[in-house]
Chains A and B, each alone.
Chain A
């Protein structure tokens, strides 16, 4: 046993792995701090549960589509590091939206609104800056093509449009999206002129009335439109798929199939549109009041199926198909929980958590030092090693799998201080037991480990089991706690097996420890071993 174990080597491996983790965690150009959860830095968290009609079940596809649409809306808020995640599966699935830093009250409404999709004929277009009539390169036909205006006509210069001339003044409340009018009369033209897509809230989406005229912007804010009342609404579309043309020529496109009723409406609409001049031959695909795409129509499309083509990338085509197909959320959403925490409060909680952790650690250190003396020093160093390792793993996991540290997680970490220290307590008590049996220190360290190891593993296994089950069967903060607990249990095993044991073995070989001073914490006299008993061994 003693011959095979080389404390120096496992110490080296342990230190190397800490250094490795540190290099990984602090690699230049990355985040160097653990990712903080919402309760520690403020923001909004919404837990939504998708609802489907009674008797039907939620399909994975529906769930994915819903998440994709919500993600799109969240991206609209423009907050970095926003997250949309799914927890659970099937009917029990939850969609968890976290938007750090954002605590505005309208966020929740915007998330759960069922998006509205409609097709509107284009009345007027303003490209912002003068351009050589960037007519969309044409046609949505039975197999026609239409360019997604976003790519075809993106304004190269992001300079503000010349249109909002100082002469036009419109009351701000008239500019709150959706900007609509039943007849496009009166100040509608002024409102159009006054609109600046770069600053307007239109991009964030708003539910528009399909029966009214609408002033809107292209998704990227490059183009503004006046749009006629809707010809078709989302429910008129049977299916939409992204694909490559059968003949192989050209880029990605979106194939549209209308419902029977939709086909009729679309036929009427395209017949009318195709007879118009640019830009009035275009129809805009409007989602949540925002123009997604505005292809032109060159000929009437009568069959109810159409192709929208242009310079799409595969992703753009898929995204458009998804909007067309699932523009309206495929399911309705119930709000399970909303939490909005101000950044100030988040900061307070973080500080309180860290303070509690630091204070707790200090108390444990004092106790260990008083009771175990030299061994206590090893325990304290091991605790720090565990703390460093945990911190590094937090950083790495924050980057790798989006692990966020929440208040519950910090609590988990603080609780784990005790469980980690307990491994040392078990080990040290075993060593002392062996010495009480009259063994010499070196032998006691070895024997003590063999016995303690089993206990530590069995006890840690129970902790891991608890953490694992909590993690798989729970949602939200419980999960964060379970994850932290499980993680730290692993760290505990690594530290106890590779670090603490090596240090104790090294120390056990030292002359000073074997001399049995009261400060060693393993002094035979203090452990009640009489000299005669020691002599015998």
Chain B
């Protein structure tokens, strides 16, 4: 903890600086590979859509202990009832989940009675979900519409509150996050349910939230740099990134801890369900979101900004000034990816006592 705090000090003053913006090609390569993998997986495997999207029926039968035997039993019961089981899975060790293609309510009632009888549980204890074939389309359509409206409004907000290059960079980072998260769903074969869609949509909010915090600092640091020739836009932005790095780490930890707890508690207590569908999307999305707000959004922003006339001029002035060597301490951007330089603070306890004593004397 203390070392993270000290790293924060060094980062803030610029004693230690990670050259994030300068190495954008490396980050782009990492993101590019991840995105390419996601798209490839999506193309090859596709998403494992839940019955909410395909239409169908799902029954969840509570049993004392779910074994392979119960799976076979469930499968046979369904076939005996004249239906085709598409999947039968064990959930959380004490439930058997049966999915079938779409059923009418009569068929579903008959099947749920048959299952109740076969497993000797009261019928009311069986969880039933029937989804019409058009429902999923509508859910997706609504989500897509929500997404579109959201993106337009966010772009407007960011352009007004910040400036248009920031809006573009933020949206690119957003697309990056969603693509990779969806790719991970395709790769892991996790079921995509409305709860996962909620998760995806939340990532949108979170990813932007995180980017806004970083950009706010970038905005602050780059204000007024055009008056002088001390640092280029990219350097100022990089300093902002470094200064908010500790914040970003803390925020991610604080946001991820509860999501992690949903995943752990959800999986151990409930097996597959709303909580997990949501939490996995969030967990991946938040991780990627934090990464992208630092390593994708800001480098892209700098790329756009460095093409603007005033920033080209600024970069020229800075270069000229450094060449002339008039200000030596300006070239302070130390590239230190490894060990942070620890600032000399002295033995802590002693220091505290001294300060207190001095204060009381005054």
- The answer to the question of B25 belonging to the interface, with a C-beta cut-off of 8 Å to chain A, is no
Over the window 229-250 of chain B, the binary record of Cβ atoms lying under 8 Å from chain A Cβ atoms (1 yes, 0 no) is 0000000000000011011001
Q: Specify which of B9, B146, B265 is in contact with A469 (CB 8 Å cutoff).
A: B146
What 1/0 flags go to B187-223 for Cβ under 8 Å of A?
0000000110110011011101100110011001000
0/1 interface trace, chain A 329-352, chain B, CB 8 Å (1 if under)? 000001111111110110011011
Structural contact, B194 and A515, CB atoms closer than 8 A: no
* 8 Å CB contact of B345 from A92, A462, A473, A526: A526
Stretch at the interface among B40-48, B120-128, B303-311: B120-128
Give the interface SS of chain A, mostly helix, strand, loop or mixed: helix
Q: Is the CB of A371 within 8 A of B250?
A: yes
Q: Is B129's CB under 8 angstroms from A340's CB?
A: yes
List the B side residues contacting A345 at CB < 8 Å. Answer: 60, 62, 125, 127
Tell me, in angstroms, the Cα distance from A340 to B115 when the chains sit together.
15
Q: Are A339 and B209 in contact (CB under 8 A)?
A: no
B212 touching A469 by the CB < 8 A rule? Answer: no
Contact at B131–A462, with CB atoms within 8 Å?
no
Docked CA distance A466–B147 (Å)? 9
- Give the distance to chain A from B292, nearest Cβ to Cβ, in Å: 15
Q: In chain A, residues 475-530, which have Cβ atoms closer than 8 Å to a Cβ of chain B?
A: 475-478, 481, 485, 514-518, 523, 525-528
Closest to A371 in B: B1
Chain A residues near B259 (CB-CB < 8 A): 360, 414-415, 418
> Is A302 in contact with chain B by the CB < 8 A criterion?
no
| Cross-interface CB contact of B266 among A356, A418, A460, A515, cutoff 8 Å | A356
Interface: A422 (CB within 8 A): yes
Interface window among A64-72, A117-125, A384-392, A425-433:
A425-433
Compute how far the CA of A359 lies from the CA of B195 in the bound complex, rounded to whole angstroms. 21
A357-368 Cβ-contact flags toward B at 8 Å (1 or 0): 101110110011
A39 to chain B, nearest CB (A): 7
* Chain A hits for B146, CB < 8 A: 469-470, 473-474
| Chain B 101-117 interface 0/1 with A at a Cβ cutoff of 8 Å (1 = within) | 00001101100110000
Q: A355-B265, A419-B209 are in contact. Are A360 and B130 (CB under 8 A)?
A: no
A360 to B201, Cβ gap below 8 A? Answer: no
B149 touches A528 (CB 8 A): no
Q: Does A105 contact B (CB under 8 A)?
A: yes
A300 to chain B, nearest CB (A): 44
Chain B CB within 8 A of A408 CB: yes
A150 within 8 A of B: no
Chain B residues closer than 8 Å to A515, beta-carbon distance: 355-356, 359
Known A-B contacts A363-B257, A370-B1, A473-B142; the reply to A47 vs B135 at CB < 8 A is yes
Complex-state Cα separation, A335 to B6, whole angstroms: 60
Question: Which chain A residues border B139 with CB–CB below 8 Å?
Answer: 474-475, 478
B12 interface hit (Cβ, 8 Å): yes
Contacts of A353 in B (CB 8 A): 275
Query: CB distance B131 to A455 under 8 Å?
Result: no
Q: Tally A-B pairs: CB < 8 A.
A: 283
Which A residues are in CB contact (< 8 Å) with B266? Answer: 352, 356
Q: Which of B28-36, B153-161, B177-185, B313-321 contacts A (4 or more CB under 8 A)?
A: B153-161
The answer, yes or no, to whether B4 is at the interface (CB within 8 Å) is yes
> Chain B at the A interface: mostly helix, strand, loop or mixed?
helix
A429 engages B254 (CB within 8 Å): no
Q: Tell me, in angstroms, the Cα distance from A263 to B270 when the chains sit together.
A: 61
CB pair A411–B216 under 8 Å, yes or no, is: no
Knowing A337-B130, A371-B4, A474-B142 are in contact, say whether A344-B62 is a contact too (CB < 8 A): yes
Bound CA–CA A105/B212 (angstroms): 50
Residues of B within 8 A of A (CB): 1-2, 4-6, 8-10, 12-13, 52, 60, 62, 105-106, 108-109, 112-113, 123-132, 134-135, 138-139, 142-143, 145-146, 149-150, 153-154, 157, 161, 194-195, 197-198, 201-202, 204-206, 208-209, 212-213, 216-217, 220, 243-244, 246-247, 250-251, 253-262, 264-266, 269-270, 273-275, 278-279, 282, 286, 343, 345-346, 348, 351-352, 355-356, 359
Using a CB–CB distance below 8 Å, which chain A residues touch chain B?
39, 47, 49, 92, 103-106, 108-109, 112, 334-342, 344-345, 348-349, 351-353, 355-357, 359-361, 363-364, 367-368, 370-371, 407-408, 411-412, 414-415, 417-419, 421-422, 425-426, 429, 432-433, 436, 451, 454-455, 458-463, 465-467, 469-470, 473-478, 481, 485, 514-518, 523, 525-528
- 6 A-B Cβ contacts within 8 A? A335-B105, A335-B130, A338-B108, A352-B266, A364-B257, A407-B273
Besides A411-B274, A418-B258, A478-B201, 16 new A-B residue pairs in contact (Cβ under 8 A), listed by A number: A105-B109, A337-B129, A345-B127, A352-B266, A367-B254, A407-B274, A407-B275, A417-B258, A425-B251, A454-B216, A462-B212, A466-B201, A478-B198, A481-B278, A523-B352, A528-B9
